[in-house]
């Protein structure tokens, strides 16, 4: 990282109280920039967005039209979409059909529908077949904490194998929201990702992505997952300052970064916060915003808050997702 | 100023670092010293991200003691004092107090605020005797804070739980909710109180504090929800919102995104990111002889 000169910083911080053109940033079109810089900048595949109706709030960018237009302003070229309706509906096929229709209506293959399966409802195999053969979906997204089954369900192994056999990506949502904020009538269930390690070992062709996984993956569990290459992670709930930095380095042996604060040159060589697990390779992290529930800006800014190389940025923004989809 | 990012944020619909610096961001909820056996080391590491993200000033909420033991002198207290003095132009501090022990809290305020470099107090998320901020013994603390022109930050949360499950039913003993802040605000209508963390549940908290103009609102420490700052600005006005980062347990990106997501003017962003807090502590800066441009 380039050294930051404190005098420059302070002058800019105090002297330029007003910066022209910064109003209504979230609604601004992408600015004109030098062609060479724009050309080398990767586009983004957002692996975690949702359409449909969040049951407890009207969301600001709800629906394919509002969300798609918003995401495009942030250089996102493709979004993998689940449906909020998957959380509670019993007629899962109707949810998947509506999702497919909404994605298609927005056009240009911007939204890829990821249908859902609920193992707690009868005849889930037919729903899976329709997702693959009728709706031509590329992946399945499940929500165990809301859908009242967990990864020890008697059918989960069978489901897992069938998803892999059909060469579909399997996304498993850990949480949708902080449980402290839930509507009082909702008591989402606890579950563990732990059974995945053994299942993936038995099914090496499986492709699994964990979404909003962070409350359910301990440092010990992460160490096991790091050794399981076909499990990947989204960025939606990677927290802590420099959270992606910390994941990449396992919070321990950080590359030295020189910076200046208070007129003193300093070196950051360790991040002494967050979980201490084995380093997670950049190839295992995929951009996923959890929009429109979370602002897309939250995950976007994390790519800048952490001191990523251009190659790491390209992988997380686009390359890893494209690779996962291709299998 | 050189661009320190490998890619241009503006290509991704984000403000550049220069624009972030232009917002004059004051992090009113800096946890650099929090929840670690190595508070000074953690703070030193955090400065990398403070600088990288263009934050103008950090206000530590963990000065003197710890959140768990606000009135206990800790080994790192002298080092914190030194940091506050040496880096006064970039680092400020408010001190955690314990409303279960009002006299001791007032003594701590004299030591760190009247006779020291700190600018305010923090009510933390729970305490040993289970005293929330609305109970009568708080009046001694608030009266003293008023006399000192101290900033008053109150951790609030509305944790769902209990039997039957209800908002606030899982709050810890002594953990205030926004309705407790309201009771306090009624008794001190000329004192500004910051309702911290937007009550954890911003939709309910906004409704709770809406009529009380002396209650300000701060969003840090909770998941980012699209539309949350829009609602707060529409219902409370941009003049009543201050910004906090909550790092290192939260990323600056998470907290920035709440404001950047909002469909508000540049002027309102300036207020939320720093100007409102600067107004809040202007009198304190003046009495300490520190220059402050609002």
The pLDDT tens digits of the residues spanning A11-66 come to 333 333 333 333 333 434 455 555 677 778 999 999 999 999 999 999 999 999 99
Instruction: For residue B249, give how far its alpha carbon lies from the nearest alpha carbon of chain A (Å).
Output: 4
B266/A18 CB distance under 8 A: yes
Facing residues of A139 across strands? Answer: A114, A169
Burial, A318: exposed, middle or buried (Cβ in 10 Å; 0-12, 13-18, 19+)? buried
For residue B14, list chain A residues with Cβ-Cβ distance below 8 A: 25, 74, 297, 300-301, 304
CB A127 within 8 A of CB A92: yes
Instruction: For residue B89, give how far its alpha carbon lies from the nearest alpha carbon of chain A (Å).
Output: 8
Q: Quote the tokens at residue A317.
A: 């923004």
B257/A297 CB distance under 8 A: yes
In order of A132, A170, B155, B256, the CA distances from A129 in angstroms are 5, 14, 50, 42
A56 interfaces chain B, CB cutoff of 8 Å: no
Facing residues of B173 across strands? Answer: none
Residue B3's pLDDT band (cuts 50, 70, 90): low
Is the peptide bond prior to A292 cis by the omega test (within 30 degrees of 0)? yes
What's the pLDDT at A32? 52
Instruction: For residue A107, give how far its alpha carbon lies from the nearest alpha carbon of chain B (Å).
Output: 22
B235 interfaces chain A, CB cutoff of 8 Å: no
Q: What integer is the mean pLDDT of B242-251?
A: 96
- Lowest mean pLDDT segment, chosen from B62-76, B223-237, B269-283: B62-76
**pTM score, two decimals?**
0.92
Which residues numbered 97-126 in B keep a CB inside 8 Å of some CB on A?
Answer: none
| Mutation site, B3, B4, B6, interface A, largest A CB count within 10 A | B6
pLDDT of B234 strictly over 90? yes
Q: What is the pLDDT of residues A59-100, one digit of tens each?
A: 999 999 999 999 999 999 999 999 999 999 999 999 999 999
Which chain A residue shows the shortest CA-CA distance from B202? A181
Which chain B residue shows the shortest CA-CA distance from A178? B223
CA distance A78 to A42: 12
Q: What is the pLDDT of residues B249-261, one digit of tens each?
A: 999 999 999 999 9
Residue A199's pLDDT band (cuts 50, 70, 90): very high
- Lowest mean pLDDT segment, chosen from A65-74, A94-103, B38-47, B110-119: B38-47
What's the pLDDT at A252? 64
What's the pLDDT at A20? 34
B222/A30 CB distance under 8 A: no
Q: What integer is the mean pLDDT of A300-326?
A: 96
A10/B45 CB distance under 8 A: no
∠A21-A23-A29 over CA atoms, to 5°? 75
- Lowest mean pLDDT segment, chosen from A77-81, B64-68, B226-230, B285-289: B64-68
Q: How far apart are the first and last CA of chain B?
A: 23
Q: What is the pLDDT of residues A145-178, one digit of tens each?
A: 999 999 999 999 999 999 999 999 999 999 999 9
Q: What integer is the mean pLDDT of B37-44?
A: 92
CA distance A100 to A116: 11
Average pLDDT score, chain B: 96
A240/B159 CB distance under 8 A: no
What's the pLDDT at A201? 93
pLDDT of A275 strictly over 90? no
A43 interfaces chain B, CB cutoff of 8 Å: no
pLDDT of B178 strictly over 90? yes
Q: What integer is the mean pLDDT of B223-244?
A: 98
Q: How many CA atoms lie within 13 A of A27 on its CB side?
A: 10
Residue A251's pLDDT band (cuts 50, 70, 90): low
| Mutation site, B51, B197, B223, B268, interface A, largest A CB count within 10 A | B223
What's the pLDDT at A276? 77
Interface A:B, Cβ pairs < 8 A: 249
B8 interfaces chain A, CB cutoff of 8 Å: yes
B157 interfaces chain A, CB cutoff of 8 Å: yes
Instruction: For residue B103, give how far its alpha carbon lies from the nearest alpha carbon of chain A (Å).
Output: 33
B42 interfaces chain A, CB cutoff of 8 Å: yes
For residue A28, list chain B residues with Cβ-Cβ distance below 8 A: 13
Residue A274's pLDDT band (cuts 50, 70, 90): confident
CB A87 within 8 A of CB A55: yes
- Report the percentage of chain A scoring pLDDT > 90: 76
Q: What integer is the mean pLDDT of A263-282?
A: 83
Instruction: For residue B214, give how far its alpha carbon lies from the nearest alpha carbon of chain A (Å).
Output: 25
Which chain B residue shows the shortest CA-CA distance from A257? B48
CA A169 to centroid of chain Cα atoms: 14
Instruction: For residue B107, give how far its alpha carbon lies from the nearest alpha carbon of chain A (Å).
Output: 31
What's the pLDDT at A35? 62
Q: How many CA atoms lie within 13 A of B147 on its CB side?
A: 11
């Amino acid at each position: 990282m380039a050294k930051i000169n404190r005098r420059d910083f302070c002058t800019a911080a105090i002297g330029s109280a007003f910066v022209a053109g910064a109003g209504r940033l979230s609604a601004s079109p992408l600015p004109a920039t030098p062609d060479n810089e724009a050309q080398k900048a990767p586009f983004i595949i957002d692996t975690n967005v949702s359409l449909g109706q969040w049951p407890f709030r009207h969301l600001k960018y709800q629906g394919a039209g509002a969300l798609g237009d918003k995401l495009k302003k942030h250089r996102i070229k493709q979004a993998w979409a689940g449906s909020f309706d998957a959380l509670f509906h019993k007629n899962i096929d109707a949810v998947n059909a509506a999702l497919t229709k909404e994605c298609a209506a927005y056009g240009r293959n911007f939204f890829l529908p990821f249908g859902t399966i609920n193992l707690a409802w009868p005849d889930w195999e037919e729903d899976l077949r329709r997702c693959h053969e009728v709706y031509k979906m590329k992946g399945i997204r499940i929500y165990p904490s809301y859908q009242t089954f967990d990864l020890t369900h008697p059918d989960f192994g069978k489901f897992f194998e069938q998803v892999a056999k059909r060469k579909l990506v399997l996304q498993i949502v850990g949480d949708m929201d902080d449980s402290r904020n839930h509507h009082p009538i909702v008591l989402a269930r606890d579950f563990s990702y732990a059974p995945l390690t053994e299942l993936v070992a038995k099914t090496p062709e499986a492709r699994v992505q964990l979404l909003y996984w962070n409350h359910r993956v301990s440092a010990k569990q992460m160490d096991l997952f790091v050794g399981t290459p076909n499990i990947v992670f989204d960025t939606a709930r990677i927290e802590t300052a420099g959270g992606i930095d910390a994941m990449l380095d396992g919070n321990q042996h950080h590359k030295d970064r020189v910076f200046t604060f208070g007129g003193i040159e300093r070196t950051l060589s360790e991040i002494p916060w967050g979980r201490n697990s084995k380093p997670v390779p950049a190839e295992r992290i995929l951009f996923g915003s959890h929009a429109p529930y979370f602002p897309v800006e939250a995950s976007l800014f994390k790519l800048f808050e952490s001191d990523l190389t251009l190659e790491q940025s390209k992988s997380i923004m686009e390359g890893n997702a494209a690779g996962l989809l291709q299998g | 100023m050189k661009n320190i990012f490998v890619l241009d944020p503006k290509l991704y619909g984000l403000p550049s670092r220069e624009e972030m610096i232009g917002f004059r961001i004051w992090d009113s909820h800096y946890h650099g010293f929090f929840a670690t056996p190595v508070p000074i080391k953690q703070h030193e590491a955090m400065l990398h991200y403070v600088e990288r993200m263009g934050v103008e000033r950090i206000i530590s909420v963990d000065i003197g003691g710890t959140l768990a033991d606000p009135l206990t002198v800790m080994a790192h207290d002298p080092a914190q004092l030194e940091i506050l003095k040496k880096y006064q132009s970039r680092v400020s501090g408010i001190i955690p107090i314990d409303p279960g022990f009002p006299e001791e809290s007032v003594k701590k305020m004299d030591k760190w605020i009247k006779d020291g470099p700190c600018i305010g107090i923090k009510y933390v998320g729970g305490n040993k005797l289970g005293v929330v901020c609305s109970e009568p013994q708080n009046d001694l603390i608030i009266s003293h804070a008023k006399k000192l022109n101290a900033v008053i930050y109150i951790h609030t949360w509305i944790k769902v739980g209990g039997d039957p499950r209800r908002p606030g039913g899982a709050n810890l003993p002594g953990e205030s909710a926004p309705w407790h802040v309201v009771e306090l605000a009624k008794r001190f209508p000329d004192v500004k109180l910051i309702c911290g963390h937007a009550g954890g549940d911003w939709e309910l908290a906004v409704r709770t504090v809406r009529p009380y103009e002396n209650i300000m609102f701060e969003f840090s420490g909770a998941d980012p929800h699209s539309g949350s700052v829009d609602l707060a600005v529409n219902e409370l006005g941009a003049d009543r919102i201050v910004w906090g980062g909550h790092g290192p347990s939260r990323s600056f990106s998470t907290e920035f995104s709440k404001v950047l997501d909002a469909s508000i003017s540049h002027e309102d962003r300036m207020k939320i990111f720093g100007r409102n807090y600067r107004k809040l502590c202007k009198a304190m800066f003046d009495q300490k002889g520190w220059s402050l441009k609002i």
